[in-house]
Chain A
Amino acid sequence: MAFNPTARQTGLIKAALFMLALVPLARMVYLTLTGQLVEPLEFITRGTGDWTLYFLCFTLAVTPLRKLSKWNWLIKLRRMLGLYMFFYGLLHFMTFLWFDHFFDVQEMWKDVLKRPFITVGFIAFVLLIPLAVTSTNAMVKRLGGKRWQWLHRLIYVIAPLAILHFWWMKAGKHNFTQPIIFGLILGALLLMRVVWARSKTLSAAAAR
């Protein structure tokens, strides 16, 4: 099905997506303020972590979806999805600094260095920062398309680290259902890229 939204329609889709992406946060705030949660701090910690992973999946799904559906305009949504991943990741990091350590940075560092599941989560978060910072059009221009693209391939490092963080977090309770699902989805999204990249080199070689 061919669908080519006008600039106005794209704007509307983006605005709707922007609002929609805030719903999980609004829900957490609402449930907390109305006293419906026994342990809001745990709920928010888990919730922000889950939504970071969801937005990671959404962001990495854009290119495969675009190729399969030929909806090229989808690329226009990718930056927002990626920034929302960073936004929820930042909130998730803040829950750790606030709820777990009450802003005691020194204590936080000890935890980061001592516990592997926190170490990898922290590295994944830190690696997201340059991607968020260089997400503007001006930064793309300043870096140049090639270098920008090269830098943003960091996401292929971040994704497995995020899964590992989640996997180790669940390991103590042998509760691997969710990490396996996320792992399979991200694995499929990354595998498609590998397949496409190979067929591209092959066809390039054939053309020569």
Chain B
Amino acid sequence: MLIKRSPNGIELPFSSEITPREVYESRRNFMKQIATGALGGAALLEMANREAFAQGVNPKLAAKLNPSYSALDKHTPYKDATSYNNFYEFGTDKSEPAMYAGTLKTRPWTVSIEGEVNKPMVLDIDALLKLAPLEERVYRLRCVEGWSMVIPWIGYSFSEIIKKVEPTGNAKYVEFVSLADKKQMPGVGSRVLQWPYTEGLRIDEANHPLALLTLGMYGETLANQNGAPVRMVLPWKYGFKSAKSIVKIRFVKEQPRTSWNLSAPSEYGFYSNVNPDVDHPRWSQASERRIGEDGFLARKRKTLMFNGYADVAPLYAGMDLKKFF
């Protein structure tokens, strides 16, 4: 098979080589039918499911593993990480992003970086892919709802961007704005949240090496339902802090208003660091269920302070984390 290798390390197959969706879906169905019909047995069906989703359908993305920023936990199966998502632009049910995110057009795509910077710029995806060497980092992801996953992301520290755009002395916070296009995103227009989805960090948080500007996962470019083509991943904060499908990054003076904080200020604070000692008003945050691992026969596992990323603790030295939740 011919593989076209572009200089930035993505292998883009010819479109003629990509198996059409109908074909691979029918193959998967065929396998499932064999598993259920001819041989019966849940175990075989499970195998068919796994086989069918062993890899994704997105272009490969080469990256070097960064072991110092990689958790040793077992990876969450690709199928689970791409079919159980909170991405309200595509619906509030966790199965909806996988069903509806196919309409998201991830190329061409530009990210405008502006505000309190000496060098504002508009970067397209190819420029972002080349801006710094791509690293693979296996991060734990803790959702505010009480579940967690372990995902091999691909990207580089957001600090690389900060270096490039040279923030002025006025830049105290960074605001991330996601795409909000009703035509591509059926959930935009629901009154659940204010659109566009907006998130924010203090600039020293954004500058922490763990803060990952993310372009891929599981050796491929990001799946649409996981925030393609570019998102943030902040492993020490609850998942919703990591903005998906980013179109604008603003360096600002004042703490930005963030979508979930606007929607329910008593439930979702600006910081939203993973913290087992600060409950959500409607449930405890002391424990979590690891998707694909923890099932019927186990107690939920303990949640760790900062999701186990103690490196970030100095960012919050002297702060009352019960008040600044």
Q: Which chain B positions have C-beta within 8 A of A42? A: 147
B262 to A: closest C-beta gap in Å: 10
Nearest-neighbour CB distance to chain A for B272, whole angstroms, equals: 13
CB of A23 within 8 Å of the partner chain: no
B45 contacts A34, C-beta separation under 8 Å: yes
List A92-110 residues whose CB lies under 8 Å from chain B: 98-100, 102, 104
Kindly state whether residue A208 has any CB partner on chain B within 8 Å: no
A144 interfacial by beta-carbon distance below 8 Å: no
Q: Closest CB-CB distance, B36 to chain A, in whole Å?
A: 8
A117 to B281, CA, bound (A): 10
> Which residues of the partner chain A approach B83 to less than 8 Å between Cβ atoms?
38
B193 at the interface (CB under 8 A from A): yes
Give the distance in Å from the alpha carbon of A34 to the alpha carbon of B47 in the complex: 10
Stretch binding the partner chain, chosen from B2-10, B122-130, B290-298 = B290-298
Q: How large is the interface on B (under 10, 10 to 19, 20 to 34, 35 or more residues)?
A: 20 to 34
On whether the beta carbons of B49 and A174 are closer than 8 Å, the reply is no
- A41 to B145 Cα, complex, angstroms: 13
Q: Which of B36, B267, B282, B289 has the most CB of A within 10 A?
A: B282
A173 adjacent to B299 (CB under 8 Å): no
By the criterion CB–CB under 8 Å, are B42 and A173 in contact?
no
Question: Which residues of chain A are within 8 angstroms of B192 by Cβ–Cβ distance?
Answer: 173-175
- Pairwise interchain contact A39-B282, C-beta atoms closer than 8 A: no
Question: Cβ of A35 and Cβ of B300 under 8 Å apart?
Answer: no
Number of interface residues of A (CB under 8 A): 24
Q: Which residue of A lies closest to B296 (CB)?
A: A41
Chain B nearest CB, measured from A167 CB (Å): 12
Instruction: Report the nearest B residue to A33, measured CB to CB.
Output: B42
Chain B CB within 10 Å, residue with most, of A100, A168, A172? A172
Which of A34, A39, A41 is B46 in contact with, Cβ under 8 Å? Answer: A34
- Please judge, given known A-B contacts A111-B284, A172-B282, A174-B192, whether A38 and B80 are in contact too, CB under 8 Å: yes
Any B CB within 8 A of the CB of A203: no
A173 to B281, CA, bound (A): 12
- Mask for B272-304, Cβ within 8 A of A = 1, else 0? 000000001111100001011001101110000
Q: Which of A33, A102, A115, A168 contacts B299 (CB 8 A)?
A: A102
Contact of B147 (CB < 8 Å), options: A39, A102, A168, A173? A39
Q: Judge whether B255 is part of the interface by a CB distance below 8 angstroms.
A: no
12-44 of chain A: CB within 8 A of chain B: 33-36, 38-42
The answer to whether A173 and B282 touch (CB under 8 A), given A38-B84, A38-B292, is no
Q: A172-B282, A174-B192 are in contact. Are A38 and B296 (CB under 8 A)?
A: no
- Does A169 lie at the interface of the complex (its beta carbon under 8 Å from any beta carbon of B)? yes
Q: Is the CB–CB distance between B300 and A102 below 8 Å?
A: yes
- Chain A CB within 8 A of B66 CB: no
B binding-site residues for A, Cβ under 8 Å: 36, 42, 45-46, 49, 79-80, 83-84, 92, 94, 147, 191-193, 263-264, 267, 280-284, 289, 291-292, 295-296, 298-300
A-B contact pairs, 14 of them (CB 8 A): A34-B36, A34-B46, A36-B49, A38-B291, A38-B292, A39-B84, A42-B147, A98-B296, A104-B299, A115-B283, A168-B282, A169-B282, A172-B280, A173-B92
The 9 closest A-B pairs by CB, nearest first: A38-B84, A35-B46, A102-B299, A38-B80, A174-B192, A33-B42, A34-B42, A34-B45, A172-B267
**A172-B264, A175-B192 given; 8 more Cβ-contact pairs under 8 Å:** A34-B46, A38-B80, A38-B291, A40-B296, A115-B282, A117-B282, A168-B282, A172-B281
Enumerate chain A interface residues (CB-CB to B < 8 A): 33-36, 38-42, 98-100, 102, 104, 111, 115, 117, 168-169, 171-175
